[in-house]
Amino acid sequence: MFSKNKSKFIKSLQIKKFRTEYKKFLVEGAKSILELINSDYFINELFVTEKFYQENRAAISQNKLTTEIISESDLSSISSFSNNNAAIAVATMKDNEVISATQNEFALILDDIKDPGNLGTIIRIADWYGISKIICSETTVDFYNPKVISASMGSFTRVSTYYCDLEKFLPTVYVPVYGADLDGKNVHDFSFSPGGYLLMGNESEGLSSQVKKHITEKIHIPRYGYAESLNVAVATAIICDNIKRKI
C-alpha cells in the first residue's frame, strides 16, 4: 500500500510554496524521467510502474536510484497529469546562481512570462537552438512548475535559469540586448552580433517600460497576414532561427 505521507508530500510539490520550502520538485512521464536520469540533477526518489521499471531497469540500477514500484492507480493519484502511467520522480532543485551570456553566445531574457506552457516551450526552443541560459524576471512563472517541466520535454535538464531583478541585471551586461517589440527593425533584414541577449516580454503586455530602456536594439517579426498577434514561444522560435542563420 502506497504511503499516505508520501502521497501528501508529493502532491504538496505541485505548489510553489512547498517546492521552495523543501527545495524539491516533480518530474513526470517516461521521456522526462529518462532525461532526468541522464542529467546532473539529484533524484531523491523514483516512483514507477512495474512496466516502466522492467523497461528501464538497467538505467535505474546503474544510477543506484531509490525506487519504489507502485500501481498505475497509485501513480495516477499522485500525478498532476491524467495520462502519466509510467513514473514520477522527486528531485532536488538547483541553486539560483548568476549566469550571463559571453561575447560569443546568445542567451534569453524573459520579462514577466506568466504561462507555464509558454515557459516550458521556450526552454525546449532554447535547447533546440543550442541556447543553454535563460535569465528570468522575478515575476516569470516558476521554472520548477510541473507544467513547465512537462512542456519542456526534458530540455529543462540542459538549460539553466537565473531569476533576478531585471532592472538591476540589465545594466551589468556587456553584450547587446535585442528586444522583441512592434516598433523594432525587421528581424529578416537585421544583422546580429556573435553574442548577446534576446529579450522577450509578457504574453499580453510585451516588454515593460523598465526593461525597454536597457535594450540595445528593438526587433520585430513582420506580419504578412491578418493574425492579431503571435504566441510568445512561437515568436521566440522565429527570432532564434533568424539569429542562428545570421551569425
223 and 155 belong to one structural domain: yes
Residue 55, SS3? helix
Strand order in the sheet with 177-186: 160-164, 133-137, 106-110, 196-200, 177-186, 217-220
121 and 230 belong to one structural domain: yes
Distance between CA 38 and CA 27 in Å, rounded? 13
CATH number (domain holding residue 165): 3.40.1280.10
Q: Which residue, of 68, 92, 116, is where some domain finishes?
A: 92
Query: In sequence order, what are the residues at sequence separation of 6 or more whose Cβ sits closer than 8 angstroms to the Cβ of residue 129?
Result: 240, 241, 243, 244
Q: Which residue, of 46, 62, 92, is where some domain finishes?
A: 92
110 and 10 belong to one structural domain: no
pLDDT tens, position by position, for the chain (247 residues)? Answer: 578 899 999 999 999 999 999 999 999 999 999 999 999 999 999 999 999 999 999 999 999 999 999 999 999 999 988 788 899 999 999 999 999 999 999 999 999 999 999 999 999 999 999 999 999 999 999 999 999 999 999 999 999 999 999 999 999 999 999 999 999 999 999 999 999 999 999 999 999 999 999 999 999 999 999 999 999 999 999 999 999 998 7
122 and 174 belong to one structural domain: yes
Query: In sequence order, what are the residues at sequence separation of 6 or more whose Cβ sits closer than 8 angstroms to the Cβ of residue 157?
Result: 35, 36, 38, 39, 40, 41
85 and 110 belong to one structural domain: no
159 and 239 belong to one structural domain: yes
23 and 65 belong to one structural domain: yes
Within-domain flag for 99: no
Within-domain flag for 219: yes
Residue 50 identity (one-letter amino acid): E
Within-domain flag for 97: no
Cell digits of residue 149: 517541466
Instruction: List pLDDT tens digits, range 145-154.
Output: 999 999 999 9
Distance between CA 93 and CA 75 in Å, rounded? 22
Within-domain flag for 53: yes
Within-domain flag for 101: no
67 and 118 belong to one structural domain: no
146 and 201 belong to one structural domain: yes
Within-domain flag for 100: no
Distance between CA 175 and CA 113 in Å, rounded? 23
Output b/e per residue, 65-84; b: 16+ Cβ within 10 A: bebebbeeebbeebbbeeeb
Q: What is the CA radius of gyration of the chain?
A: 20
Within-domain flag for 51: yes
Instruction: List pLDDT tens digits, range 168-196.
Output: 999 999 999 999 999 999 999 999 999 99
Identify the domain containing residue 55 by its residue range. Answer: 4-92
The domain total for the chain is 2
117 and 212 belong to one structural domain: yes
Q: Which residue, of 58, 92, 126, is where some domain finishes?
A: 92
CATH number (domain holding residue 87): 3.30.1330.30
Proportion of the chain in helix, strand, coil states, percent, rounded to 5: 35, 25, 40
30 and 76 belong to one structural domain: yes
* Entry pTM: 0.95
Could you say which DSSP state residue 13 is in? T
Distance between CA 60 and CA 37 in Å, rounded? 8
144 and 241 belong to one structural domain: yes
